[in-house]
Structure 1
Amino acid sequence: MYFPYLYARQGECRAIEDLAPGLGASAQKVFPVLEPAATNSRDLVKALSALAQHSAATYLIINPSKKSLDQGAVFGPWMADVSPFLSDAQITRPTLEIRASTSLADITSFLTSYPGRSLGLSIRSSHIPAANVAAATSGYDVLHFLHSSADPAGYSAAVGASRSVEVRDSFRTEARNADYVGAEQFTASHLYFAGDGRPGFSDYTLLPGKFSDSGGPLGAAVIHLSFVENASKSIWVEHFVSIETRQYEGSQPSKLMEAMTKLDAAITADSSKFVTSPGLSSYQAQFASRRPTSPTYNKRQQVSHHIATAATVV
């Protein structure tokens, strides 16, 4: 199975909406893991509604801490909007984020709050000994999502490979969009997880694993698009960078159209290279109408295409 780890911002939530019709298969093989990082729950509620409409399940972190969501005045209204979905065992698998302030008692309380449910732990801190976590979750249907900051090998050994998924930061981030060149390997995790006894693999799609909400004037525009490399069967990513790469030169729409022109040329040269996906179809429709994408929509398209690509190899 594939567990794309997303911060549930607008572009990522819209990508989940796009993919929801294909996720709710009788044997679901793609389970999004959503760690909300937006104080306005509107986009998350839309994504959860789309998943519910198509009977697709997701892991949802119930104690988010980013963007002030750990503050009562912000968390209360957010939880009020989300709680109807949390009560539906067919749609949500409640997930607790383990960070430095989390205690073993917090884990126990979480587990007993959702009896008989499929649950998750998103482990970002290793301050609680792995053996203690393993003992606490023994007997519960819990999947442990292990981040690089929390000794994935140690926790996996303690809780068992069959109950753990390593969340890998597989996307190589450049300082500037202009620095992305050509194509490169993204991951081969899908080739090995079954042999390691794990239920699946996970990454942050084509987004950085370290959360950041910062931005600035657009220099180069870039489209990152995943594909399965024929020889190795690993997942690669190709970068399509605008011709104009300087800040304050050219316009955002013109730069995005330049990147889309390069993408269109690659599709023309090899029409079978990229899988059909909502994201790719959207790029093609926009290019045909000469209507450039936008930065948020670009993220939506890249994320949905990456998840659709990963779905073909699990």
Structure 2
Amino acid sequence: MARWGTVSMYFPFLRGKQFELLAIKEMAHELGRLGNFHPVIEPVKDIRGNGGFARGLQALASAAVPSTVIVNPQVGELAKLDSNPDAVIRDLRPLLDADRSLRLGLVLSSERQVSEAVLALRRWNIHRPVDLIYTDAVLPLESMMEIQSNLDIGLHFLDGKESVRRYRKVFPNPQSVLLRDRFPRKPRNQDYVDVRESVFSEDHLFFKDDGYVGFGDYQTVGTYYAEGGSLPRTVAIHLTYLDGSDNAVYIRHFCSDSNNGTSDTAGKFSEAVRKLLEFTDVRRIQNPSIDAFRKYHFSGNFPGLGMLKKLSIQNHLYVMASALEVR
């Protein structure tokens, strides 16, 4: 099958949840202007009933931002369907017809899922590059040969060259993207209270040296997936930023102080965002996401936890845009 090149270097991996989709939809024009972003999106809900999903992809297409949508989701409602590749491809068909740059992704989760996905892609007569997302699963050589023989393989997303090295006879010269979960997840928000800043990633500095054509991450969300949550005892805002001293991307966690109960989430937000703004003022960190945090703080309005997640993701995208410029 034909090889697929790309000028994109940064591949943020997002789930098809409301505020993650809103984050990239609102930034579509900026991502298109930068020209080196390529979101990878895992749908988690019925695409036909999720208008935000279609609007997000349409915004990316209008801004000439390439994207990849996974056809066999591993989390959420769609993961529970026995034939989720068929359902996803069916519901994606109008978007695929409207956007020739939209690519599909296949998670290498199991031999059965891979075979079902290959059959579904052939059944729907899909002729466009398919990106492979590696997991801890080790698939038999026959499954990988089935993929190579039937699909136009684009990029290989993996967290280490050993993953694709197993299949070097099938893919002798793979175009690989380093995809790692860099978010330092803890079980509870209150566990971040005493955590100091730490290096989030240096992948933007070294991915080419290590033989990758790009790199990606899961922003300030991580791979952990949950449908919803209860009221938090602690509001924690996770902020990445570029440190000019070593050009690494760091992460810092700004937490509320009144953490003895779950009441007054708005007050907890006020405590956390005040610390964030004091820090960004000292470090002279500024972008539209920081401006939005500042607006909410001085207006006294609490935008909701979902909006905090969106702004944190958007800040990270701005940070990665700056990180790519210092290479």
Q: CA deviation at 1:288?
A: 2.5
2:97 corresponds to 1:83: no
Cα offset, 1:125, TM superposition? 5.0
Q: 1:245 aligns with which of 240, 252, 259?
A: 259
31, 37, 43: which one aligns with 1:36: 43
Equivalence map 1:59-78=2 (5 Å): 59-70=68-79, 71=81
Question: What CA distance in whole angstroms lies between the structure 2 residues aligned with 1:165 and 1:111?
Answer: 25
Query: 1 CA distance for matches of 2:229 and 2:61?
Result: 33
Q: Please state if 1:52 is matched with 2:61.
A: yes
Q: How does 1:89-100 map to 2 (within 5 A)?
A: 89-100=99-110
Supply the distance in 1 between the matched residues of 2:104 and 2:147 (Cα, whole angstroms).
16
Query: Which position in structure 1 is the counterpart of 2:281?
Result: 268
Does 2:163 match 1:154? yes
Asked if the contact 1:169/1:208 (under 8 Å) is kept, the reply is yes
Q: For residues 187-206 of structure 1, what are the alpha-carbon distances to aligned partners after superposition, in whole Å with 9 as ceiling and x for unaligned?
A: 11111111122111111111
RMSD between aligned residues = 2.9
Q: Work out the CA distance in 2 between the residues paired with 1:134 and 1:153.
A: 18
Distance 2:85 2:162 in 1: 33
Give aligned-pair identity as a percent. Answer: 24
1:304 alignment partner AA: Q
Partner of 1:2: 10
Aligned residues, how many?
305
Distance in structure 2 (CA, Å) of the matches to 1:189 and 1:73: 36
In the alignment, structure 1 residue 178 sits paired with structure 2 residue 178: no
* Residue identity matched to 1:241: C
Render the CA deviation track for 1:164-193: whole Å, top value 9, x for unaligned. 223211111122212212311111111111
Structure 1 counterpart SS, 2:76: helix
Structure 1 residue 32 displacement after superposition: 0.6
Identify which of 271, 281, 288 aligns with 1:258: 271
Which of 6, 11, 24 is the equivalent residue of 1:16?
A: 24
Question: Conserved in 2, the CA contact under 8 Å of 1:187 and 1:235?
Answer: yes
Contact 1:256 1:293 in 2 (8 A): no
Q: State the 1:79 CA deviation.
A: 5.4
In 1, distance between residues paired with 2:295 and 2:41?
29
Unaligned runs of 5+ in 2: 1-8
User: Partners of 1:304 and 1:176 in 2: how far apart?
Assistant: 23
Please state how far the C-alpha of 1:52 moved relative to its aligned partner. Answer: 2.1
Query: How big is each residue's C-alpha offset from its partner over 1:135-191, in whole Å with a ceiling of 9 and x where there is no partner?
Result: 843793511122x5xx75231562467512232111111222122123111111111
Would the aligned equivalents of 2:32 and 2:65 in 1 still touch at CA under 8 Å? yes
SS in structure 2 of the partner of residue 137 of structure 1: helix
- Note the alpha carbon deviations across 1:249-283, whole angstroms, 9 max, x for none: x4011111111111111122222xx351x422221
Matched letter for residue 32 of structure 1: P
CA distance in 1: counterparts of 2:218 and 2:141, whole angstroms: 24
Query: Equivalences for 1:106-185 in 2 at 5 Å?
Result: 106-107=117-118, 110=121, 113-115=125-127, 117-129=128-140, 133=144, 136-137=147-148, 140-146=152-158, 153-156=162-165, 158=168, 159=171, 163-180=175-192, 181-185=195-199
Please give the alpha-carbon distance, in whole angstroms, between the structure 1 residues aligned to 2:227 and 2:318.
Answer: 25
Question: Contact between 1:5 and 1:202, CA under 8 Å: does it hold in 2?
Answer: yes
Q: Does 1:220 align with 2:229?
A: no
CA distance in structure 1 between the partners assigned to 2:12 and 2:101 by the alignment: 16
TM-score between the two structures when normalised by the length of structure 2: 0.82
Residue 240 of structure 1 and its aligned partner are, at CA, apart by: 0.8
